[in-house]
A = this chain, B = another copy of it.
Amino acid sequence: MQEASETFRREGKRIGFVPTMGYLHEGHLALVRKARADARVVVVSIFVNPLQFGPQEDFGRYPRAFERDRMLLEQERTDIIFFPDDSEMYPEGYSTYVEVRGLGEHLCGLRREGHFTGVATVVAKLFNAVKPHFAVFGQKDYQQLKIIQRMARDLNMDLEIIGHPTVREEGGLAMSSRNAYLSAEDREKALLISASMTKAEELFRGGERRAGVLAAEVRKILASKDGIDIEYITLCNPDTLNDVGKIERSALLAIALRVGKTRLIDNTILTES
Contacts and interface: CB of A to CB of B under 8 A. Distances in A.
Contacts of A121: 155
Given A128-B157, A158-B128, A96 B95 contact: no
A51 to B, nearest CB: 11
Q: How many copies of this protein are present in the complex?
A: 2
Interface string A89-130: 000011111111111000000000000000011001100110
A220 to B, nearest CB: 36
Nearest to A84: B156
A158 B155 CA distance: 15
A96 B151 contact: yes
Interface in A144-168: 150-151, 154-158
A195 to B, nearest CB: 35
Contacts of A151: 96
Chain A interface category by residue count: 20 to 34
A57 B102 CA distance: 26
Interface in A1-44: 2, 6, 9-10, 12
A189 interface: no
Given A93-B150, A95-B102, 17 more contacts: A6-B158, A9-B10, A10-B10, A10-B12, A93-B102, A94-B154, A95-B103, A96-B98, A96-B100, A96-B101, A96-B150, A97-B98, A97-B101, A98-B99, A125-B155, A128-B155, A128-B157
